[in-house]
Structure formats: structure tokens, C-alpha cells
Amino acid sequence: MSEELRLRENQNRFHQAIGAAEIRGLENSLMNASNLAGTYYPEDRSQNGFALYAMSADLAAKPLSERLPPTPLRHYYGIKDNRYHDDLYLRSGLNDVNAMRRLLVKDGVRLGSAPILEFGCAAGRMLRHLEAEARMTEVWGVDLHSAAIHWAQAHLSPPFQFFTNTTAPHLPFEDNSFGLVFAGSVWTHIGELDDAWLLEIRRILRPGGRLYLTVSDQNTLAEIKRLSPDHASNRHVAELDEATGMLSKNWVAFVTRTTPWMQRVVYQRDAWLARIGQWMDVRAAVPNAYGWQTGVLLAKRG
């Protein structure tokens, strides 16, 4: 048998073994499987590939903090009365950064003296408000969503630096690189890999470095019920409760999945802090620090 035939046969056997008749099917099943590590959201799924473009002259003329991404890259921030409001998008990012700054200042942290990373930065809704720090030190943003990262690279870099990461809990930085890593509403979506990501981020923090992240907890559940009875989350929680009876049991965390990609993670705050407190010092936990999510500040020991 020729080498080429042998390779093709091997390939066919592999495709059959994993149930994908041809390479396009294989790619589709890999990219759609939410439980496989190592995936990301591609820029474009068409078979022709994609092209990237430089920033328009209009946006280049604006201050960096006012360059607005197209609405599909805003991840639902700045919506009111079923439509996107530019000013709300910009203000929401500033408010969330200011809430983080207040916690850091209270904890004695001075920003700008050591590199900063935003994990799950999307199109830089928060990161754009750290422009002053980015003139003093490296400020990075990473996300699974490659279209958001490509937009950020074209519109916010320099001074910021960006790349697309995968769902595998690894970031290509050296140990002890950052003074601050922050993640707004990312621990709300990373389900089973939450601890692995926390430990990976601990690895790249300097000793004494801080991780600021926001989570949904029992306070968040109560706030959504009180302030927004029609919110889809209430229905998702009720459906999972119907299937599991979890709310009348001693639950410590749960995940509702709405699509293969979308998951919403909720923790019992004290139980979760007790677990992660074994790995990092818990400096603060502030309910409603980021909308109805709780802001948590952790420090790497050492």
C-alpha cells in the first residue's frame, strides 16, 4: 500500500472512530463541543476564511476610551429598553473599573507599578479605562472571543496588548508576571474549569499580586429575583431546581447551561471562599460591586 493510501486509511479510521465522516464534520464537532478544552470562538465560521482591517479614520480621531465596538461585540452591556446605548456601554465600564479601584486602594494597592492583565476582556469595555496605567506598565487583555480580540487589537493597541486564548486553563506568560489580574463576569461562565483557571492565574501573579474577580452568589440570585422577575436567569434556575431539587438541599454551587457555549455559574459565597481560601488570601468580598455580582479580591501568598 502506498504511503498516501495508508495515511488516508488511517485518517478515515480516525474520523469513523470519533463519528465525523469528513474533516469539515470533525471541525464542526470540535468547535461546538462545550466540554472539550482547547476551543475558542472563531472570528468567522465561513469556509472562505476571513480578513482583518485597520481602524477607520472616524474612530482613529476619537479618544481611545470612546472608540465603540460594533454591538455584537458588546456582550449585552449598555442595553436599555431593548436597544444598545453607547453612553451606557462606556459608563458601565468606567463604573466597574472604579469599583475595582476602590477595593484595591482600600487594600493598599497602587496601580501602574506592575503589569496588569484582564482575563476575559471582550472588546475592552473595562480595560480601556486603564489607559493611564498602560502608559506606565504593560496592560494585557485576553479572551476566547477572537472577533472581540481582533477588534481590540485594531482599536485599542497600543497601548494595550491582546491575544485570543483557548478554554484550556493555560496562559502563555511566565510565572510571577503580573501585579494585578482582573476578570469581570468571567467566573460566572467557566463551570468545571473554574479552579484550574484560578490556579493558573495564581501562577502568573507575583507574590502579593491581586486577583479581582466577580461572581454570582446567593445575593445575586436574590437581587435578580427582586429587581428583574422576568430575567431569563430566574427561569433557568427554576428549571434546574425542578430537575434536581437543589434549592431545598445544601447546594454549594450550580451551573445552568442554556446553549452548548453558554453556562451560568452560581456559588454559595462562604463555601466557595473557604475552598479558594486554601490557595489564595481572601482580602474582600463585596456584594453588588459589579451590577448584582459580588466583587472578590484575592492575594497570592508569599
Ligand X SMILES: C[S@@+](CC[C@H](N)C(=O)[O-])C[C@H]1O[C@@H](n2cnc3c(N)ncnc32)[C@H](O)[C@@H]1O
- How many Cα atoms sit within 13 Å of 277 on the Cβ side? 11
Q: Pull the grid cell for residue 229.
A: 422577575
Distance CA 227, CA 216 (A): 15
Q: Which is nearer to ligand X, 71 or 246 (CB)?
A: 71
Q: Which is nearer to ligand X, 154 or 246 (CB)?
A: 154
Residue 245 Cβ vs ligand X, minimum distance, rounded to whole Å:
29
Residue 72 Cβ vs ligand X, minimum distance, rounded to whole Å:
12
From candidates 78, 147, 152, 167, binder to ligand X by CB under 6 A: 167
Residue 93 Cβ vs ligand X, minimum distance, rounded to whole Å:
6
| CA distances to 73, 76, 118, 223 from 89, in Å | 11, 9, 18, 21
Q: Which is nearer to ligand X, 115 or 184 (CB)?
A: 184
264 binds ligand X (CB under 6 A): no
149 binds ligand X (CB under 6 A): no
DSSP character for 68? Answer: P
Q: How far apart are the first and last CA of the chain?
A: 61
Q: Which of 257, 251, 123, 247 is nearest to 189 (CA)?
A: 257
Residue 261 Cβ vs ligand X, minimum distance, rounded to whole Å:
9
114 close to 206: Cβ distance less than 8 angstroms: yes
Distance CA 233, CA 190 (A): 16
Distance CA 240, CA 247 (A): 9
Piece of 138-146, 173-181, 200-208, 216-224 that binds ligand X (CB under 6 A): 138-146
Q: Which is nearer to ligand X, 64 or 142 (CB)?
A: 142
39 binds ligand X (CB under 6 A): no
Distance CA 57, CA 185 (A): 32
Per-residue mark of binding to ligand X, 84-123 (x: CB under 6 A): -----------------------------------xxxx-
Residue 193 Cβ vs ligand X, minimum distance, rounded to whole Å:
7
Residue 126 Cβ vs ligand X, minimum distance, rounded to whole Å:
5
Q: Which is nearer to ligand X, 20 or 253 (CB)?
A: 253
∠ CA 110-115-116, rounded to 5°: 80
153 close to 165: Cβ distance less than 8 angstroms: no
Residue 188 Cβ vs ligand X, minimum distance, rounded to whole Å:
7
Q: Which of 208, 193, 202, 43 is nearest to 117 (CA)?
A: 202
From candidates 109, 116, 126, 134, binder to ligand X by CB under 6 A: 126
* Chain positions contacting ligand X, by CB under 6 A: 75, 77, 119-122, 125-126, 142-145, 148, 165, 167, 184-186, 189-190
